[in-house]
Amino acid sequence: MRLPALAAAALLAAACSPDSAPAQDRTDAEIEAIVRAYILENPELIEEALIELQARAQQRERQGVADGVQANIDALTSDARDPSIGPDEAAVTIVEFFDYRCPYCHMTNDWVMQTIEAHGDRVRVVFKEFPVLGEQSVVGSRAALAVHQQGEDVYLAFHDALMSASGPIPIERIEEIAEEAGADVAAMREAMESEDISEHLNDIRALAREIGISGTPFFLIGDQVIPGADVARLEAALQAGLEG
């Protein structure tokens, strides 16, 4: 129920009283007093109104994100700079915005890796490096994009290992993980300082702002937008795409 409706209800209640003046003859102060008294007598209506307002705001936000996704679908799925696994003609394309220090991204990483393994060429995963949790996140993403220049397989191994790491990820630890993943660490260190990687990360941030992505993880599966670490929704969207 909206607040104007509350006012109307209050006036109607007052109008039903035999000794009340017609609503059109009341002053603003009298109307305000009637509405205030009605609200004080029925405080649950305020809670109902606030719940409705919140629901409408959330719906507007969801619609804005959905519109932003459709307006930027090429940038989301077809930026050649983004690491991706799987063929362009795959039945389902999954786009993930993530941060290596995000615990919720850690929760969904197993699902992503299992999906790649289980569905092979039927699925394409696009990895959007979106470091939002501080300098170590930025360094991790720069290192990952540098490793990507050495091939998709080494990137995927590095990505999985770094995403599975717990605790801080200083550069020394990132180098150890890169070496274990089979990357050329010296080449990684040189490439990760490039302006091309800086521009790439800036473009991803700008894309996220335009769409309305404020946190990680954020998934696009086919045409379904799934923010957060809801594995059940992710799996349902994946299966719908594979069966469609």
How do residues 112-168 score in pLDDT, each as one tens digit?
999 999 998 999 999 999 999 999 999 999 999 999 999 999 999 999 999 999 899
**Cα→Cα distances 122→86, 90, 185, Å:** 8, 5, 32
Q: Are residues 121 and 157 in the same domain?
A: yes
Q: Are residues 219 and 178 in the same domain?
A: yes
Tell me, yes or no, whether 68 lies in a domain. Answer: no
Q: Are residues 139 and 164 in the same domain?
A: yes
Q: Are residues 132 and 185 in the same domain?
A: yes
Cβ neighbourhood burial of 115 (10 Å; 0-12, 13-18, 19+): buried
224-227 sheet: strands from edge to edge:
84-85, 123-129, 92-98, 218-221, 224-227
Would the pLDDT of 230 be above 90? yes
Q: Are residues 108 and 192 in the same domain?
A: yes
Tell me, yes or no, whether 89 lies in a domain. Answer: yes
| Residue where the block lists tokens 């004080």 | 40
Counted domains in the chain: 2
The CATH number that applies at residue 174 is 3.40.30.10
pLDDT given at position 67? 87
Residues 199, 201, 207: CA angle, nearest 5 degrees? 100
Q: Are residues 104 and 39 in the same domain?
A: no
Q: Are residues 77 and 51 in the same domain?
A: no
Residue 56 belongs to what domain range? 3-63
pTM, 2 dp:
0.76
Domain-terminating residue out of 12, 40, 63 = 63
Q: Are residues 120 and 175 in the same domain?
A: yes
Q: Are residues 56 and 150 in the same domain?
A: no
| Model pLDDT for residues 94-110, shown as the tens digit of each residue | 999 999 999 999 999 99
Q: Are residues 59 and 79 in the same domain?
A: no
DSSP element (H, E) containing 218? strand 218-221
Q: Are residues 87 and 57 in the same domain?
A: no
Tell me, yes or no, whether 49 lies in a domain. Answer: yes
Tell me, yes or no, whether 213 lies in a domain. Answer: yes
Higher-confidence position of 64 and 196: 196
Would the pLDDT of 3 be above 60? no
Q: Are residues 181 and 216 in the same domain?
A: yes
